[in-house]
């Protein structure tokens, strides 16, 4: 295995610090990943040497900035195996990508009697936009049930599929449970009834290669900051034929071809969905993050991440008072739990006092919390720079949490 976690950790400067006089153990990667030097350096280089707006300038700085900006789009295209850079739309993140599809495709194509299916384990960002659009179009938003193990109920999904279903929007990996959904099968089944499919890949792209051509999804959205890149930048992939037909989500500069008070004509793809000055540094940083990840042995990385997660689950299985929330057979990156008799927020605060960073609360996924009859959980989420030693540190800290609370 050509992977050494101790060498990898040296690429992430933020990890080499103490929190409350304890070595940092960062287990909040589901919220955002840390950034390697390569990403930090790429962003700093842009601001120090190339800062300019893109596409419009007739000077060297603008030419250089445009070149780096569009090269980042090429990098994303190759990373997810899109057919063309015209299919790569820059967004602020996954949330904006879902909203873009919901309002640009949904408002134009949904009508009363139509159905949109989402899973019960969705992030709010993949529920609320569809609720808003369904309220305006008369369509119905229908949740796909989840089993007691936190897996997608495929029998229930198949039973819901009929000619009324026009769209399926689903998370690839649950941010609250770590469940890996069988999205390729979901896409195939949805297409059989003529429905379009959007996959929320925010929690998936950092863990394994994504091939949108092989998946045959109609749309795929992800965020840069979950992939060791900067915040405020994301990607929406869409099949070119669909994007060509869609009306822009927002209006302004850059997304236009001509403007008169009588009529506006829109720019070509991908620019018709990118109004205003884009997050240039963010795109360049995301390109650098993808270059960093793809330079690694991704099979070795996946094996390492799987080992760390399995070790954590093994430690959890024998830990008194520890209740795992979600027990899917196929899972990635997340261990969500409660300690009997303890509020998750109290657990998180006491872990922080020992240098362990986790996420607590409902994780913007209230419906799945309701399903498991909890108001929130403690979520430990893992990345390529985490280790078995981090897991041991978590459980040693939990020992002290139990001492303080009980």
Per-residue DSSP letter, 106: I
How far from 165 is each of 137, 218, 221, 281, 295, CA to CA, in Å? 14, 15, 21, 39, 41
SS3 content of the chain, % helix, strand, coil (to 5): 45, 20, 40
Contact 284, 46 (CB under 8 A): yes
Residues of the chain with pLDDT below 50 are none
The pTM of this model reads: 0.97
Where exactly does CATH 3.40.640.10 map onto the chain?
41-294
Q: What is the CATH number of domain 5-31+297-405?
A: 3.90.1150.10
Q: In this predicted structure, what is the pLDDT of residue 24?
A: 98
C-alpha span between 371 and 148 (Å, rounded): 8
Segments of the chain assigned to CATH 3.90.1150.10: 5-31+297-405
Q: Three-state SS for 92?
A: coil
Rounded to whole angstroms, the Cα distance separating 214 from 191 reads: 14
CA dihedral angle for residue 140, residue 143, residue 144, residue 149, rounded to 10 degrees: 180
CATH assignment of 41-294?
3.40.640.10
DSSP 105: I
**Is 364 an annotated catalytic residue?**
yes
Q: Residue 373 contacts by C-beta under 8 Å, 6 or more apart in sequence? A: none
Residue 210 makes CB contacts below 8 A (sequence gap 6+) with 79, 80, 81, 201, 204, 220, 222
Closest CA to 183 of 196, 199, 202: 199
Residues contacting residue 4 through CB under 8 Å, at least 6 positions apart: none
**Sole residue written with tokens 């390109």:** 287
| Token pair recorded at residue 111 | 């009508």
- Torsion angle (degrees, nearest 10) of CA 46, 48, 50, 56: 100
Rg (CA), the chain: 22
């Amino acid at each position: 295995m050509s992977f050494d976690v101790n060498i990898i950790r040296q690429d992430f400067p933020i990890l080499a610090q103490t929190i409350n006089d304890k070595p940092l153990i960062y287990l909040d990667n589901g919220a955002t990943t840390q950034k390697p030097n390569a990403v930090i350096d790429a962003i700093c280089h842009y601001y120090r040497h190339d800062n300019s707006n893109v596409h419009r300038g007739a000077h060297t700085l603008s030419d250089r900035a445009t070149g780096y900006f569009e090269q980042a789009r090429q990098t994303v295209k190759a990373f997810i195996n899109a057919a063309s850079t015209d299919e790569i739309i820059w967004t602020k993140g996954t949330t904006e990508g879902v909203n873009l599809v919901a309002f640009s495709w949904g408002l134009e194509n949904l009508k009363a009697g139509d159905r949109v299916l989402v899973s019960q384990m969705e992030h709010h960002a993949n529920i609320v936009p569809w609720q808003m659009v369904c309220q305006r179009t008369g369509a119905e938003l229908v949740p796909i049930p989840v089993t007691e193990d936190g897996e997608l109920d495929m029998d229930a999904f198949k039973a819901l599929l009929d000619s009324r279903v026009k769209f399926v929007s689903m998370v690839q990996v649950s941010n609250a449970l770590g469940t890996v959904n069988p999205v390729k099968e979901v896409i195939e089944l949805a297409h059989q009834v003529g429905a379009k499919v959007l996959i929320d890949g925010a929690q998936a792209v950092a863990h394994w290669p994504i091939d949108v051509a092989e998946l045959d999804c109609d749309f795929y959205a992800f965020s840069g900051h979950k992939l060791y890149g900067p915040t405020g930048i994301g990607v929406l992939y869409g099949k070119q034929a669909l994007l060509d037909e869609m009306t822009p989500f927002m209006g302004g500069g850059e997304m236009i071809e001509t403007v008169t008070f009588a009529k506006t004509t829109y720019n070509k793809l991908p620019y018709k969905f990118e109004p205003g000055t884009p997050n240039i540094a963010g795109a360049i940083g995301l390109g650098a993050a993808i270059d960093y990840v793809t330079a690694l042995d991704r099979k070795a990385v996946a094996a390492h991440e799987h080992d760390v997660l399995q070790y954590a689950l093994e430690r959890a299985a024998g830990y008194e008072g520890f209740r795992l929330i979600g027990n899917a057979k196929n899972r990635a990156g997340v261990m969500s739990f409660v300690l009997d008799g303890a509020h998750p927020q109290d657990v998180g605060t006491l872990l922080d006092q020992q240098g362990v960073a986790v996420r607590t609360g409902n994780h913007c996924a209230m419906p799945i919390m309701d399903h498991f009859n909890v108001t929130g959980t403690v979520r430990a989420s893992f990345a390529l720079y985490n280790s078995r030693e981090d897991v041991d540190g978590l459980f040693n800290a939990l020992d002290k949490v139990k001492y303080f609370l009980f």
